[in-house]
Amino acid sequence: MRVHVLQLKPGQDLKEELSRFVKSNRMCAGYILTGVGNLRKATLRFVDEDIKTFNEHFGILSLDGTLSSDGMHIHIVISDKEGKAIGGHLKEGCIVYHSAEIVIGESENLRFSREFDKRTNFKELRVKKIKKGL
């Protein structure tokens, strides 16, 4: 496993920067090991597919998901100033307040892809083992 660390600064969009990082590193099978930090704005998609934007400060309690150049599936849990937690699918529009630190693992013998699944109506994860040269 390879390990990458991504440190984001104020004003950066969490999902856009993750996507940029994955593409620039040609990541085939990444996964978020941990993610902490804070946001000044959050946009989440909920299970019922509603998308909501919240314009307040949040702490990032949890960030996890799968990453590849073919697509990402990331969940985030955030808390407000009263400690109430809310979570959902990470969307563009989650803007870093002070900082965000993300540690990413990458498998060197797997390839993740996303293929449309008629049963779920979403692009779902497919995993393929790959052999590295001897």
Q: What is the pLDDT of residues 55-104, one digit of tens each?
A: 999 999 999 999 999 999 999 999 999 999 999 999 999 999 999 999 99
Q: Supply 116's token pair.
A: 């449309």
Q: Residue 122 has what pLDDT?
A: 87
* Domain ranges, ordered by start, for the chain: 2-129
Topology of domain 2-129, CATH: 60s Ribosomal Protein L30; Chain: A; (3.30.1330)
Extract the tokens encoding 61: 């309690």
Which single residue is written with the structure tokens 């991504």? 6
Give the pLDDT confidence score for residue 84 in this predicted structure: 97
Give φ, ψ of 131 to 5 degrees. -100, 135
Which tokens sit at 24?
């620039």
Q: What is the largest CA-CA distance in the chain?
A: 55
Say if residue 102 is exposed, middle or buried (CB neighbours under 10 Å; 0-12, 13-18, 19+): buried
Cβ contact 79:71 at 8 Å: no
Question: Could you read off the pLDDT of 7-61 as tens digits, one per residue?
Answer: 999 999 999 999 999 999 999 999 999 999 999 999 999 988 899 999 999 999 9
The one-letter amino acid code at 81 reads K
